[in-house]
């Protein structure tokens, strides 16, 4: 489980969903685009819920391991949403960051950051 910090609040979701969301946010920012996504989350009372997340070039999102107490319902999984986010990320493409006049800099894989 990951706790995502976003827009002055936080939400808990599954590891793979958090990684897919951050990857898609990065691709949107690289393309100066925005969208909204409905994410399955764990609500403060421990019940499952849906959060509407707006992603765009100015989005500042951080995902960190959720405290053990947040995992009362187990890992949150939504294979269809994860696949959709990964497909949309691939469609947008993500240019490799580089310094002018230099070789491309390899991006750090998300799984190493999470």
Please say if the pLDDT value at position 94 is more than 90.
Answer: no
Model-level pTM? 0.67
Give residue 62's pLDDT band: very low, low, confident or very high (50, 70, 90): confident
CA torsion sign for 36, 78, 49, 114 is negative
Say yes or no to pLDDT of 30 above 50: yes
Contacts of 59 (CB under 8 A, 6+ apart): 6, 25, 28, 29, 34
Domain boundaries, the chain: 2-113
């Amino acid at each position: 489980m990951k706790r995502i910090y976003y827009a002055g609040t936080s939400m808990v979701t599954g590891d793979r969903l958090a990684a897919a969301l951050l990857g898609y946010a990065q691709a949107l920012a690289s393309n100066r685009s925005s969208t909204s996504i409905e994410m399955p989350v764990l609500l403060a009372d421990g019940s499952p819920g849906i959060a509407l997340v707006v992603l765009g070039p100015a989005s500042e999102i951080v995902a960190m391991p959720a405290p053990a107490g947040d995992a009362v319902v187990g890992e949150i999984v939504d294979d269809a949403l994860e696949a959709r986010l990964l497909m949309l990320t691939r469609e947008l493409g993500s240019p490799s960051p580089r310094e002018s006049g230099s070789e491309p800099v390899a991006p750090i894989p998300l799984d190493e950051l999470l």
